[in-house]
Amino acid sequence: MKKRHPALRLLMVFMFALVGVGAGVFAPASVIAQDENTTCAGEPMIGAPAATPEESPAAGDMASPAAEIDPATLNIAFLPKDIVNPYFATSAAGAQEAATELGGQFQQVGPQTANAAEQVTFIQTLTQQQVAAIVVSANDPDALAPALKDAMAQGIKVISFDSDVAPDARIAFANQADSEEIGRIQVQIMGKLLDCEGEIAILSAAATATNQNAWIATMEDELAKPGYENMTLVETAYGDDDPQKSHDKTIELLTAYPDLKGIISPTTVGITAAAQALEEEGRGGGSDNQVQLTGLNLPNQMRPYVESGTVAEFALWDPGNLGYLAYYMAAQAIAGNLTGEEGETFTAGKLGTYTVGPNGTVILGPPTIFDAENIGDYNF
């Protein structure tokens, strides 16, 4: 992959600050550096070099917690896909921060593996316990819906975050970033790494995961554009957000497709396992026969693989901020300030003011792209 000249990089950051921050949109990269920031389809790449955390476009003005939120009512339970995945430990830390600010209660419960049936049991238990709100990341949008509707019928406020449930089974959805951009950017990065040529595979989470499936749909759409003719998606495999299964699926892909040139893994568990497997198989950084790897991960989990050259670029948002936002959404729903209606506005502490978009969706902010040059700025 071509390296950006430091001066060019600085200019790009400056342009991003001018154009992207405040407006909450990406810088139009083609204005900045045509060669480095044009996709295989000849369009401007989504994204730009990451702003520093302080410059995050998601951060609005400091706003104090809404006065009408009563701390005594905030019995809020988070139910992630599973409680082993470090991604959800990071989002829980953000939720705890919001709970402390508001004087509310926070608990996180969930299965040991990313399993929808087990999530249903947890929803039923939380409903019996009469918590005030359930904040859920779904392993399956439909399997969870009946239990969540029962909870709502009993006055429990349901908010989804990270991976949505069926829209009529929750009040609102805290989405980490625009789903379309998250999908496209991963294909665009892979196109850059492979010069738009070669067989690629996707290593996803659960086959029923709402978030990964939405992203994969836009990946396929991006790949269908003229310019990607020589980049072929040979298989989408599912590792179920299980480290061992994701590792084994990676090895299976390498065996089944000897000419495989790239893997996109839109899951923090999948990409970590794939990076390990590639290095074990001598297909990581420095190998003559390297398989390029990109996707979504926490910078702290990806750091060793960026240092070894196995991963050149990847993306994510701040899961801590996502948990923080989702807790505030639950608190605002309990207070009666959030009903999920499009156009509704509410405050979320340090993140500022948000507006509910179509389909009850609230977007945290744009994703960040990480590489060897900026990863040192992040610690999550």
Residue numbers of the site for ligand RAM (CB under 6 A)? 81, 85, 87, 137, 162-163, 205, 211, 241, 267-269, 296
Min. distance of Cβ 166 from ligand RAM in angstroms? 17
> Which lies closer to ligand RAM via its Cβ, residue 205 or residue 254?
205
Amino acid at 370: F
**Helices 319-334 and 86-102, packing angle to 10 deg:** 40
> Which residue reads 């429990």 in tokens?
156
Whole-Å CA distances, 276 to 85, 129, 199, 273, 303: 16, 41, 20, 5, 12
Report residue 321 CA to chain centroid gap.
11
CA distance 113 to 81: 8
Task: Point out which residues pair with 295 in neighbouring strands.
Answer: 265
> Which lies closer to ligand RAM via its Cβ, residue 85 or residue 292?
85
Sign for the pseudo-dihedral over CA of 79, 83, 89, 93: positive
CA distance 17 to 117: 45
Min. distance of Cβ 268 from ligand RAM in angstroms? 4
Q: What is the DSSP string of 228-275?
A: -TTEEEEEEEE-TT-HHHHHHHHHHHHHH-TTEEEEEE-SHHHHHHHH
Min. distance of Cβ 9 from ligand RAM in angstroms? 26
> Which lies closer to ligand RAM via its Cβ, residue 96 or residue 268?
268
Show the beta-strand stretches assigned E in 66-196: 75-79, 105-108, 133-136, 157-161, 172-175
Min. distance of Cβ 212 from ligand RAM in angstroms? 6
Whole-Å CA distances, 127 to 83, 116, 140, 224, 332: 19, 16, 19, 44, 19
Min. distance of Cβ 376 from ligand RAM in angstroms? 21
> Which lies closer to ligand RAM via its Cβ, residue 296 or residue 356?
296
Which residue, judged by CB position, is nearest to ligand RAM in the bound state? 87
> Which lies closer to ligand RAM via its Cβ, residue 210 or residue 310?
210
Min. distance of Cβ 22 from ligand RAM in angstroms? 26
> Which lies closer to ligand RAM via its Cβ, residue 268 or residue 290?
268
> CB of 252 within 8 A of CB of 282?
no
* 118 CB-side CA count, 13 A: 13
> Which lies closer to ligand RAM via its Cβ, residue 138 or residue 334?
138
State in Å, rounded, how far the first CA of the chain is from the last one: 26
Min. distance of Cβ 85 from ligand RAM in angstroms? 5
Min. distance of Cβ 87 from ligand RAM in angstroms? 3
> Which lies closer to ligand RAM via its Cβ, residue 181 or residue 241?
241
